[in-house]
Structure 1
Amino acid sequence: MRRRALLGLFGAMLTGCDVSVAAAPVSPWKLPVAAPEPWAPPQAGNEATLRAVLQRYQNLFPSAVVFAAVDGHVVAHFAVGDAVRYGAEPVPATTGTLYDLASLTKVFTAVLVLRLHEQGAVQLDSPAYRFLPLFSGKPDITVRMLLTHTSGLSKDTPLAGETPAERLAHVLRAPPVAAPGSGYIYADQNFIALGALAERLGGEPLDRQVRRQIAAPLGMADTGYRPPAALLPRIAATEGTLRGTVHDPSAAAFGGVAGHAGLFATAADVALLGRALMTGGPLLRPPTIELMRTNHNAAFGPSAAHGLGVDLDQAWYMGRLAGHGAFGHTGFTGTSIVVEPRRRVVLVLLTNRVHPSASAPSPNPARKAVADALAA
Structure 2
Amino acid sequence: MPRVFRRAAVTVLAVTLLAGAAAPGAATADSLAGSKAAAQQNRPELQEAIQGFVDIGFTGMQMRVNDQRGEWAGTAGVRKLGQTAKPPTNGRFRIGSNAKTFVATVVLQLVAEGKIGLDAPVAGYLPQFELDREITVRMLLQHTSGLFNYTGDYYNGKPMPGLPSTGQEWVDNRFRTYQPDELVRFALAKGPLFLPGRDWNYSNTNYVLAALLIEKATGRSYAEEMQRRILRSPDAAAPGSTPQQPRPLGLSGTEVPGTRTGIRGPHAHGYYRYQDAGQWKTVDVTRQNPSLVFAAGDMISTTQDLHTFFSALMSGKLLPAPLLAEMRTPHSKVGYGLGVYVEKLGCGVTVVRHNGNNIGYGALMYSTPDGSKTLTASITGVDTEVDLATKYPKALDKLLKAAFCGEQTAG
TM-score using structure 1 length: 0.75
Equivalent residue for 2:132? 138
Provide the secondary structure at the position in 1 that maps to 2:355. Answer: strand
Aligned CA distance change for structure 1 residues 185 and 50 (closer, same or farther; 3 Å): same
Distance of aligned partners of 1:39 and 1:370 in 2 relative to their CA distance in 1, 3 Å threshold: same
Q: 1:1-376 maps to which residues of 2 (within 5 A)? A: 47-58=43-54, 59-71=56-68, 74-85=70-81, 89=83, 91-157=85-151, 158-159=162-163, 164=179, 167-171=182-186, 173-174=188-189, 175-216=191-232, 217-226=248-257, 231=264, 233-239=266-272, 240-246=283-289, 251-253=290-292, 258-281=294-317, 283-295=318-330, 297-298=331-332, 300=333, 304-313=334-343, 315=345, 320=347, 323-332=348-357, 333-341=361-369, 344-353=372-381, 361=388, 363-374=392-403, 375-376=405-406
Tell me the secondary structure at the aligned position of residue 62 of structure 1.
strand
Q: SS state of the match for residue 116, structure 1?
A: helix
Structure 1 gaps of 5+ residues are 1-37
RMSD of aligned alpha carbons: 3.1
Provide, for residues 275-327 of structure 1, a one-character-per-residue CA deviation record: whole Å limited to 9, x for no partner: 1112122x2223322221122x13x3xxx112111011064xxx54xx55421
Q: Secondary structure at the match of 1:122?
A: coil
SS in 1 for 2:366: strand
Between stretches 343-352 and 222-231, larger displacement belongs to: 222-231
Code of the residue aligned with 1:167 in structure 2: it is E
- Correspondence for 2:275: none
Conservation of the 8 A alpha-carbon contact between 2:91 and 2:265: no
- Specify the alignment match of 2:159 in structure 1: none
Corresponding residue SS for 2:367: strand
Secondary structure at the aligned position of 1:294 is classed as coil
- Asked if the contact 2:100–2:297 (Cα under 8 Å) also holds between the matched residues in 1, the reply is yes
Structure 2: distance between partners of 1:230 and 1:185: 31
- Counterpart CA distance in 1 for 2:163 and 2:378 is 28
| Counterpart Cα distance in 2 of 1:348 and 1:366 | 15
> Displacement of 1:182 after TM fit?
1.1
Q: Cα distance 1:169–1:41, how it changes in 2: closer, same or farther (>3 A)? A: closer
The 3-state SS of whatever aligns with 1:313 is: strand
Q: CA deviation at 1:49?
A: 1.5
Task: State the match for 1:15 in structure 2.
Answer: none
Kindly tell me the number of residue pairs found equivalent between the two proteins: 317
In structure 1, distance between residues paired with 2:286 and 2:38:
32
**1:340 Cα offset (Å):** 0.9
Rounded Cα–Cα distance in structure 1 between residues aligned with 2:271 and 2:215: 28
Change (3 A) 1:64 1:117: same
Deviations 1:144-174 (A, max 9, x none): 1111111112244344999625523514644
Cα distance in structure 2, aligned partners of 1:133 and 1:112: 21
Q: Comparing both chains, which one has the higher relative contact order based on Cα–Cα distances under 8 Å and sequence gaps of 6 or more?
A: 2
